[in-house]
Structure 1
Amino acid sequence: MTSADSLKDLQTTVGEMLDSNTTKTLHEGNVANNSSWGSVSIGFSITMMITGLVGNSLALILVYISYRKKENKRKRSFLLCIGSLALIDLFGQLLTSPVVISVYRNGLEWKQLDPSGKLCSFFGVCMTTFGLCALFLASTMAIERAMAITNPHWYSNHMKTRVTKQTLAVILLLVFFFALLPIVGVGKYTLQWPGTWCFINTGDTEVPGNRFFAITFALLGIFSLLVTFSCNVVTIRGLIIRCKTKSGTSQSSKQWERLTTETVIQLLGIMCVLLICWSPLLGLMLRMISTHVSSKECISKDSTSNHISNSDAHFDCDFFLTAIRLASLNQILDPWVYLLLREILLRKFCLVANAVSNCSTEDHKEAQTALKKQKQDLPKSQSS
């Protein structure tokens, strides 16, 4: 073997070693980045799960105590709706959050936990069922409150707890059957970016009925939001009108004003929470359906390349993850905006507002008294 051949073999060996070390270093760096990002994400998921469980459990306890009181018979329909919403949000957290946490702990490898794909379908059914149920229950409570304010006599005569229970059961069954459509071949649930959850496929046009199922979900969500907003506006208007007709100095009129203030603030809070939590997801779903984009494309592209050439698709995938987290946040905020916030914070807010109002009124009266006294003393000083 000549010296030239030995030199060539040495260069080849060194090159292979450098390539091997470079590949190993890059791989370790990617694993470290993924693990660190996953640890942040798993902390986020655990925090949301614990917060949701605590809030909804407290709401269920308060609803049960209020429902047993005899003086709350007229409120039982509304309490049933709030209790059903808290129970649905609680089950939604219990059935979906542990799956997400398990995938994070498994290194974002969904297929290792779910090689058959049945867990993905189960996850998608849960997301669709509990998401739409929460929206429809919000609409049901908005309709119930609007009828109680605008037509109290009809409400007291016809709105019985039996009717409320039947309505809630029908809503739950219809939403559940709708969520089962991909199981029978109409639409499809697929793994979504970053590979920790499954939801409706928005970009696959080859699956029968997939476009119909995705558009129907988005439109049903938007419809329920519009119903909730419209009924809450009607309720606020009715409360303000009745408050003006009952205005006076009596104790009952002051109590009615306080109750009106609490209810209006609560309804405004409900409307803001629903708008912030659900409008990004529903709007983005319609956009992704129209452009035939699905967040599962980010998983396949990310596995082959560290850079996604289509910036729009990458933006949609990241924003879709943020939007679904906002929608999940609604399950945590529901018990607070419907019940706990009013019980704990609104009373204190109204007490502070009344205290400030009373102080300013007393100061104004003292100023008026002092001014009158000065006017009375003025002629005396002039005459002397």
Structure 2
Amino acid sequence: MTTRDSGCTNVSIPICENKRNASGSVSVGFPITMMVTGVVGNSLALILVYISYRKKENRRKKSFLLFIGSLALTDLFGQLLTSPIVISVYLADLKWCTIDTSGNLCAYFGVCMTTFGLCALFLASAMAIERAMAITNPHWYSNHMKTSITKQTLAAIWCFGFLFALLPIAGIGEYTNQWPGTWCFIRTGKSEAHGNVFFAITFAVFGIFSLLVTLSCNVMTIRGLIIRCKTKTGASQSSKQWERLTTETVIQLLGIMCVLIICWSPLLVLLLRMIYNQVSSQECNSTYAKPGTSQSKVLNLDCDFFLTAIRLASLNQILDPWVYLLFREILLRKFCIMANAVSNCSVEDRKETQTALDALNKQNQDGNNICKSPSN
């Protein structure tokens, strides 16, 4: 691939004369909006988790809250450690070497992307397993699941994700600047780095495996909830409460599965495809510099899709707190309260309107009687 020095020490920047046009009409407002939204949502989730954790005495609830809080904390740090760099590159007219004169920032960005991406997926899987055990085998869960085990699991996930992300620093795999030059991630094309294909494939396989585990466990949980809900059918208050909680949980789990599939599947599948074809997003730079051929148009389409895929994966950090906590605890219940209020108001409005119409009709009838009385 053709490269140029661009005056940056130990940094080789891909040729990309059309980089501004290739990146689309997205301005610096896009990463700023994503960062602000992610920080606000995850911070709010952490506050609610902390308040709930102090109130909960049931260790089953505490374990689940620990998982949610850890996921929110992971997403929050992922936003804070990577978004400012992307914003800086946009402000530098998409010239990475302007802010990375040493060449070490790309490795740092790649480590952050890999660490927080894998940890978020592993945490989602761990929560799905925890919920499945709590619903399908509650007696075993109550006797064996302790808060200390949850904390050890969280520590193991963070350590494994961080150590795996450090493999390119140790010489296994490679991080490279990705099109359109605003971020760094795992190289998927040909590379002289030892074990680069192994590292890239392992990341994609870990991600897909985590998605499958999460989806399978959530399906098991939904099935268990529905079965238990059917056994509690009746007109009692406890049966109605269990039905309401089952509905809320099923909606939440369906939201989790939809968000995970939409946000992560495109990136992971595309990574495997790029590894198989031995192509890298860096080739998008030279392709955009030489448009016109049919092969160029196909590759440009893949470049746009790859950029969209990584933005969807980043969007998952913003949506996580809403689908795991805020949606269930705030929006869903508030929506039900508002719906009931609107329904009651509508009934009252109809009653008042009907009363006013009856009074108006009565007045008209009285007026007609008065007008007719002189002629009698």
Q: TM-score range by the shorter chain?
A: 0.7 to 0.9
Residue 179 (structure 1) aligned to one of 134, 141, 165: 165
Structure 2 contact 173–199 (Cα < 8 Å) conserved: yes
| Structure with max Cα Rg | 1
Secondary structure of 1:181's counterpart equals coil
Structure 1 contact 66–72 (Cα < 8 Å) conserved: no
Q: Do structure 1's residue 210 and structure 2's residue 180 form an aligned pair? A: no
2:301 corresponding residue in structure 1? 315
Map 1:158-237 → 2, pairs under 5 A:
158-237=144-223
Once the 2 structures are TM-superposed, how far is the Cα of residue 301 of structure 1 from its aligned partner? 4.1
Distance, in Å, in 2 between the alignment partners of 1:121 and 1:183 is 8
Distance, in Å, in 1 between the alignment partners of 2:187 and 2:23 is 25
- Which is bigger in relative contact order (C-alpha 8 A, separation at least 6)? 2
Q: Unaligned 5+ residue runs, structure 1? A: 1-29, 359-384
What is the alpha-carbon root mean square deviation over aligned residues? 2.3
Read off the aligned partner of 1:137 and give its amino acid letter.
L
2:355 corresponding residue in structure 1? none
Structure 2 contact 252–324 (Cα < 8 Å) conserved: yes
Residue 87 (structure 1) aligned to one of 73, 76, 88: 73
Map 1:1-384 → 2, pairs under 5 A:
34=20, 40-302=26-288, 304-305=289-290, 310-350=296-336
Q: 1:103 to 1:211 in 2, by over 3 A?
A: same
Taking structure 1 as the reference length, the TM-score comes to: 0.80
* Same amino acid, percent of matched pairs: 76
Taking structure 2 as the reference length, the TM-score comes to: 0.82
Q: 1:146 to 1:186 in 2, by over 3 A?
A: same
Once the 2 structures are TM-superposed, how far is the Cα of residue 347 of structure 1 from its aligned partner? 1.9
Q: 1:112 to 1:243 in 2, by over 3 A?
A: same
Read off the aligned partner of 1:280 and give its amino acid letter.
P
Secondary structure of 1:191's counterpart equals strand
Secondary structure of 1:41's counterpart equals coil
Listed one character per residue, the Cα deviations across residues 38-85 of structure 1 (whole Å, up to 9, x for unaligned) are 873311100000000000000000000000004454300000000000
2:354 corresponding residue in structure 1? none
Distance, in Å, in 2 between the alignment partners of 1:205 and 1:104 is 27
Distance, in Å, in 2 between the alignment partners of 1:350 and 1:261 is 12
Structure 1 contact 193–298 (Cα < 8 Å) conserved: yes
Once the 2 structures are TM-superposed, how far is the Cα of residue 200 of structure 1 from its aligned partner? 0.6
Determine which structure has the larger helix proportion and give its number.
Answer: 1
Q: Unaligned 5+ residue runs, structure 2? A: 1-16, 345-376
1:376 corresponding residue in structure 2? none
Distance, in Å, in 1 between the alignment partners of 2:37 and 2:255 is 19
